[in-house]
Structure 1
Amino acid sequence: MRFETLGHSSAASVKAAEILLRDGLITPPNLDEALGEQERWGSNVGQILIARGHTTAFRYYKALAEALDLPFVNLRETPPDDDLPDAGERQTYLDLALIPWRRGEDGSVTIATMDVNEDVETWAVGRFGQGGYRFAITSKFDVLWEVQKRFEALDDLDAREGLWRVMPMHSARATFVSGQVIAVWVILSLLILGLWWAPKATLIGVSAFVSLLYLATFCFKFLLTWLGGNHRIDVQVTVEEVAALSDADLPVYTLLIPMYKEHEVLPLLVDSVRKLDYPKSKLDVKLVLEAGDHETIEAAKALGAASIFEIVRVPHSQPKTKPKACNYALRFARGQYLCIYDAEDMPEPDQLKKAVVAFRKADPNVACIQARLNYFNRDDNLLTRMFTLEYSQWFDFLLPGLDALRVPIPLGGTSNHFKIDVLRGLGAWDSFNVTEDADLGVRMTQEGYRVGIVNSTTFEEANGVYPSWIKQRSRWIKGYMQTWLVHMRNPIKLYKSLGHTGFWGFQFFIGGPPLTVLLNPILWLTFIVTLIWPMPAISEYFPPVVLYISLFNLLVANLLYIYFGVVAAFKRQYYDLVPYGLLQPFYWIMHSIAAYKALSQLIFNPHYWEKTQHGTSSATHQALAKAAEAKNG
């Protein structure tokens, strides 16, 4: 049973609320509102008062202790005896919201808890024996803070190396395994020997291979676009289905919001979460912040949103990545479902409810529901327009095509809704992979799970700053390289788990794009050189069949790639972006620049996470101003 579902009796909660009212800590309208929502939300009065911000958790649980005639313990001022909490039971402490606190002179142990119920008493009897314990009430977050502080090193180790210790072949901690190193040296040696002994035949073979690679990649993208345009991947959730939900039956929902040096967008984040149409007493919102990011931590504290948000401080350690931070925070998650949001995200208000309906409608093996992503600042500049075209094609054509073929779907980095028990069972994210969600999508497919997409959109900020775009895109490309290398450590096993179509789809969708964007500049340069300085000798390396394939790739395939972008704009009714679809070749040049940076980092600094700069758009500044007005109003 998860922490937030452990509700003490309604009578005790009402009595505690009356004590708060007696002491002038809440008003009669506050209590009336909470009483009115108690049945509708399926939460007790105290949880509602806290969620609404009418009182603090500390004040409420202090009043609850008085209502239950039990002592109240402030764990931050009087922490537990060092020898009582057991590291092996730390997850139990979180699940039941308790921790052994002090041993009395008679040998009995006082257990600090936010609740006294059947599950807590059963654990206490099993742990200390009948009559060997007594209870004290502590505040809602005190157990969480105490467990974080006391077992920080162990939890950090699990966050960093949990997947690697259990399934090392699925972790990108090592970039190359011995078999891959040997394979690279064999291929390079054969190439060098071929150039030495039979240069013409070798170069013909290389040109044929590259031409066929491009042709196969294009054919696969064409197939995905054709299938995706006619395939509905969304789990369609209607307005009526959302309205039919009972708030009392909704599960606790965990939101993980990892941030690093982004204090300026915090008001926007608070505003977006508050707009979510979900019982606030059932939201478990974690601000996942680096322990050394004092500016963001202090800014989060100053917001005064403690009733909704909980700050999880991630210890300083390497790798310093988003997946490691999420793994660390995952231990403290107490929801049935979990969603990742970025700090500047603006999800549609009913997205969580739609995700709940989608999970209930989907097949049991659907472990993740991905919301669609798009941008609220697409008109900022050329870069944001190209980014919007790219995402529109991704979600409207490519992902549905992958789903139709049962090819692993690489998840986006935000708005992924997970069944939390499945997520934990899979080992969560690989802290060493810099596109952790793409890797997780592949692992899910290998384990027999599927990814669905719900008809709800999260609007985020398109990266419109060129240096920041290169950083972000090089990280994505490096992550795809890592993901391909990890899952190709055992190609036979991968083939058996994915099947013929899934295996080759993985090659062309995960492995192919990084390779082609690396080859593009070489081919472009070769083509330009032959135009300026015609060299008949070059034609010897392009037999007729290879030449025809190369011309097809150059003329037909590239034109169709441009056409795909234009069609994506039409489907989204972004008619103003149609002319920009013609400029995609310039966007491809930027991809190649990012790809060479990614390759360099893969070799020399594989786990380095380049931070994406957020909060730069005019739309973000306007949204921040509106959020400030709403707060002040």
Structure 2
Amino acid sequence: MLKIYRNDLFLKSGLLPLEVCEEIEKMRKTMDKSFLKTALNYAFLSRLDYKNLLLKKGISFYQFDYANLTKLNREVSKADLDFLLDHNLYPLQSESGEIELVSADPSDDISISKFRERFSLRASHVHFAEDLDIVKALHLTYGESLLQKAVFDLYNRDSKSSALETFTSKQIIVLCVLGLIFLILLLIFPVISIITVSLLINLFFFISIGFKFMLTIVGAKSENLQKVSKSELGNYLDSELPYYTLQLPVFKESEVIYKLASNLKNIDYPKEKLDVKLLIESDDPVTFDAVKNLKDPCIFDPVIVPYAQPKTKPKACNYGLYFSKGKYLAIYDAEDIPDSDQLKLVNALFHKLPEEYIVIQCALNYFNKTENFLTRMFTLEYSYWFDYMLPGLDGLDIPIPLGGTSNHFKFDKLIELGGWDGFNVTEDADLGIRAYAKGYKVSVLDSTTYEEANNEFYNWIRQRSRWIKGYMQTYLVHMRNPAKLYKEVGWNGFFGFQFFIGGTIFTFLIYPILLFTFLFYLFLKLEIGVDLLGSVNQDLINFIKLIFPDWLIIVSIFNFLAGNLLMIFVNMIAVFRRKSYNLILYAIANPVYWIMHSISAYKGLFQLISKPFYWEKTNHGLTKADKSKI
């Protein structure tokens, strides 16, 4: 067995200076991890530099056969798995029972001794491999039971709260009965039935738009954004700050991994108090290889999520929960740039708020807001959503559907809620509703996380159709028992849910119909339109006028125009809190932007029926904008 001493490997090679080695050693003892694990995961050493050094020393790397991994002939508990992960060790056991070890550090006698003491096993030989290969092998070998919990734990706890079943039998029966009643009425009273349905559609659309406008006004007036002063941050010494987990789910994100490593270094929080989990799918060699070959040191601990359906972000996050250790836990996307003091602000706000507040949602905005038309519209939308509408929900005591990133949880309460629903593709919106139904509350903090706005049309459609499909899933899940929902969330919560979650879905689906009504009205008013229809069939014109009398057309047009004007106004308001005055005129283009939402909504509706759990990947790293200009 090749023997290399730590001084030779890290000091004499020039890989790490003495003072850094001493700092790593101190952290290693405090966290009970191996020296190499601490050096790699806490930005003291880059994986590529370490790999190149071992290659120069003539070390050949053990190659795992991931399709034929074998377990030890003894029970390996979760605590045992944590030990193996923390010390970069993978035990190999032959058919004869002989034990060999795979280690990432040829100078690490301490971890090998600890392995012998813990498992009462002596290794006859030690191989060496890259640390990420060992991590992957451990998760694939011993993570199966945890993976099953990550997928089905919520369903097993409370099947009615999971989107595994898209439509319940009761919902299907109700929909069929309502459809049958409508068909019967349509046959008996065709004109009255069509007019009544049209009126109901217009009424719900009007109330939904009006409700969002009201939320915007409440959010603008009430200043519900929770503030924490700089002086309050001084009340908490670094030594008193809690351990904080950050989960970073990634999939085919090689183009932003280098940016991610840089962004994490800007977080103003003691790095020894950070527990950063980079969640990589086991069938994602692109991201896996990108992390293995990072040139810069990085602050994250890779977790390899074994393959399982559904391939969703919440499933990966649930798996990551079993390896998270923080008092608080936050979710960030790979391209996110949170305010540097965001974690300290959250900690201070949690101390100010009553115990029932278990989630803090920070605002999201975009660093590439002026890149093109689409990024400008996206920025307007997010500005009014996070700066006005969510504070409005908070002010009216209505359940807040969380955004997909930059939400901070009390870890123990997140576990109590069962984590995320692995089958819901807007898992955080659903979790916000479930938290409220359990008597917990969500607060909003005036700290911003900057993301990359979609700058490409088809990429935007993919992302938005998934979001709207997830809203549909969330609505169906929580409306399985309307009486129960009303009892849990009260009058405000129930009707807020109908017009915020349900209304958002409905407005996007109905918008093309109102637009068509408006255009058709204009067409009829033009002489050429009357001549064209008249030449086809005069009876057709008479029938259209019968089922769509002038007063109903006027109501629909008023709804269409008033709805657009209100949303244009809301978008214009959105620029003021962020002082993005150069975007104000783009608010006029909101009717066009809504057409894109409608396309996404119908695509989401189709996928809700055909493939409800399909997670349509959003490509990141497409922008050419300069993040330094935030």
After superposition, the Cα gap between the structure-2 partners of 1:212 and 1:274, relative to the gap in structure 1 and judged at 3 Å, is: same
TM-score, normalization by structure 1: 0.81
Q: What is the aligned partner in structure 2 of residue 285 from structure 1?
A: 276
Q: Aligned in 2, Cα 1:469/1:21: closer, same or farther, shift over 3 Å?
A: closer
Instruction: Determine whether 1:30 maps to 2:20.
Output: yes
Structure 1 SS opposite 2:291: helix
Letter in 2 for 1:199: P
| 1:184-195 correspondence to structure 2 within 5 Å | 184-195=175-186
Q: How many Å apart are 1:21 and its aligned residue?
A: 6.4
Q: Return the letter of the residue paired with 2:75.
A: P
- Correspondence for 1:592 among 589, 595, 598: 598
How many residue pairs are counted as aligned between the two chains? 577
CA distance in 1, matches of 2:244, 2:131: 17
Counterpart check, 1:567 vs 2:573 = yes
> Aligned pair in 2 of structure 1 residues 575, 145: CA closer, same or farther (>3 Å)?
same
Structure 1 counterpart of 2:537: none
Deviation larger for 328-337 or 583-592: 328-337
1:452 aligns with 2:406: no
Where 1:592 maps in the other structure, the secondary structure is helix
Percentage identity across paired residues of the two chains: 44
Match of 1:579 among 585, 588, 597: 585
CA distance in 2, matches of 1:433, 1:498: 21
Deviation at residue 395 of structure 1 after TM alignment = 1.1
Partner of 1:533: helix, strand, or coil?
helix
- Alignment partners' CA distance in 2, 1:545 and 1:529: 15
Q: In the alignment, what sits opposite 2:149?
A: 158
Quote the offset at 1:448 in angstroms.
1.0
| Larger displacement relative to structure 2 (472-481 or 551-560) | 551-560
Q: Give, as a single letter, the amino acid of the residue that structure 2 aligns with 1:173.
A: L
State the match for 1:90 in structure 2: 78
CA deviation profile, 1:165-209 (whole Å, cap 9, x unmatched): 211111111110000000110111111111111101111211221
Query: Which residue pairs with 1:611 in the alignment?
Result: 617
Return the letter of the residue paired with 1:376.
F
The 5-angstrom pairing of residues 221-370 of structure 1 reads 221-303=212-294, 308-370=299-361
Please say if residues 268 and 344 of structure 1, whose CA atoms lie closer than 8 Å, have aligned partners that are also in contact.
yes
TM superposition shift of 1:94: 3.6
How far off its partner does 1:312 sit?
Answer: 1.5
- Decide whether aligned partners of structure 1 residues 251 and 50 sit closer, same or farther in structure 2, where only a CA change above 3 A counts: farther
Inter-partner Cα distance in structure 1 for 2:489 and 2:328: 26
Of residues 191, 204, 222 in structure 2, which corresponds to 1:213?
204
Aligned partner of 2:53 in structure 1 is none
Pairs within 5 Å for 1:71-150? 82-86=72-76, 89-90=77-78, 94=82, 148-150=139-141
1:376 matched residue in structure 2: 367
Q: What is the aligned partner in structure 1 of residue 416 from structure 2?
A: 425
Distance 1:19 1:569, change over 3 A: closer
Q: Could you tell me which runs of 5 or more consecutive residues in structure 2 were left unpaired when the two chains were aligned.
A: 1-5, 51-61, 94-101, 103-107, 123-129, 526-540
Contact 2:42 2:300 in 1 (8 A): no
* Partner SS for 1:593: helix
TM-score, normalised on structure 2? 0.81
User: 2:293, 2:581 → 1: CA distance?
Assistant: 43
Query: What is the letter of the counterpart of residue 82 of structure 1?
Result: L
Gap change, CA 1:102 and 1:373, over 3 Å in 2: closer
CA separation in 2, counterparts of 1:147 and 1:520? 51
Report the Cα offset of residue 243 of structure 1. 3.5
- One-letter amino acid matched to 1:27: P
Give 1:435-514 correspondences, 5 Å limit: 435-514=426-505
Assess, with a 3 A threshold, how the Cα gap between structure 1 residues 21 and 257 changes in structure 2: closer, same or farther: same
Question: How far apart in 2 are the matches of 1:153 and 1:589?
Answer: 44
Q: Provide the C-alpha distance between the structure 2 equivalents of 1:450 and 1:379, rounded to a whole number of angstroms.
A: 35
**What amino acid is the match of 2:619?**
Q
* Contact 2:132-2:292 at 8 Å conserved across structures: no
| TM superposition shift of 1:44 | 11
CA shift, 1:618, in A, is 1.1
The question of 1:558 aligning with 2:548 is answered no
Q: Is this contact kept in 2: 1:256–1:338, CA < 8 A?
A: yes
**Preserved CA contact (<8 Å) 1:17 1:31:** no
Distance change (3 Å), C-alpha of 1:529 and 1:54: closer
Residue 421 of structure 2 aligns with an amino acid whose one-letter code is D
Contact 1:260–1:293 (8 Å) recurs in 2: yes
Task: After superposition, give the CA deviation of every residue in 1:99-146 in whole Å (9 maximum; x if it has no partner).
Answer: 99899xxxxxxxx9x999xxx9xxx9xxx9xxx999xxxx99999767
Note closer, same or farther for the CA distance 1:181–1:34 as it changes in structure 2 (3 Å cut): closer
* Partner SS state of residue 311, structure 1: strand
AA matched with 2:78:
R
Displacement of 1:48 after TM fit? 7.7
- Which of 378, 381, 386 is 1:387 aligned to? 378
Deviation at 1:623?
4.8
For 2:256 and 2:21, how far apart are their aligned partners in 1? 33
Instruction: Find the aligned partners of 1:165 and 1:547 in 2 and give their Cα distance.
Output: 50
Structure 2 equivalent of residue 411 of structure 1: 402
CA distance in 2 between partners of 1:223 and 1:257 (Å)? 35
**Separation of aligned partners in 2, 1:19 and 1:527:** 75
User: Quick check: 1:602 aligned with 2:608?
Assistant: yes
* CA positional deviation for 1:17: 9.8
Distance 1:521 1:246, change over 3 A: same
Displacement of 1:232: 2.4
**Structure 2 CA distance for aligned equivalents of residues 204 and 351 of structure 1:** 53
Q: Tell me how far 1:339 sits from its aligned partner.
A: 1.1
Question: Per-residue displacement from partner, 1:262-285 (whole Å, max 9, x unpaired)?
Answer: 101111100000111111122211
Instruction: Report the Cα distance in structure 2 between the residues aligned to 1:530 and 1:548, rounded to whole angstroms.
Output: 9
Cα 1:418/1:304, change in 2 over 3 Å? farther
Deviation at 1:549, TM superposition (A): 4.6
- Aligned CA RMSD, in angstroms, stands at 4.1
Aligned-pair CA distance for 1:543: 7.3
> Paired residue for 2:125?
none
Q: 1:391 to 1:486 in 2, by over 3 A?
A: same
Deviations 1:359-391 (CA, angstroms, capped at 9, x unpaired): 111211111111111000011111111101101
When structure 1 is superposed on structure 2, of 372-381 and 91-100 the one drifting more is: 91-100
Evaluate the alpha carbon distance shift between residue 530 and residue 546 of structure 1 in structure 2; reply closer, same or farther with a 3 A threshold: closer
- What CA distance in whole angstroms lies between the structure 1 residues aligned with 2:10 and 2:290? 29
Could you tell me whether the CA contact under 8 Å between 1:258 and 1:289 is conserved in 2? yes
Following superposition, the deviation at residue 302 of structure 1 comes to 0.9
Rounded Cα–Cα distance in structure 2 between residues aligned with 1:575 and 1:186: 51
2: distance between equivalents of 1:141 and 1:466?
36
Question: Contact 2:267–2:341 at 8 Å: present in 1 too?
Answer: yes
Distance 1:45-1:281 versus aligned 2 partners, 3 A rule: farther
> Structure 1 residues 115 and 335, CA, compared in 2 at 3 Å: closer, same or farther?
farther
Classify 1:358/1:144 alpha carbon distance in 2 versus 1 (closer, same or farther; 3 Å). farther
Residues 80 and 100 in structure 1, CA contact (< 8 A), matched pair in contact too: no
Mark the CA change 1:444 to 1:527 in structure 2 (over 3 Å): closer, same or farther. Answer: same
Residues 304-347 of structure 1: CA deviation (Å, up to 9, x unaligned): 56762222122222111111111112211121111111111111
Indicate if the aligned counterparts of 1:290 and 1:315 stay in contact, CA closer than 8 A.
yes
2:191 counterpart (150, 175, 200) = 200
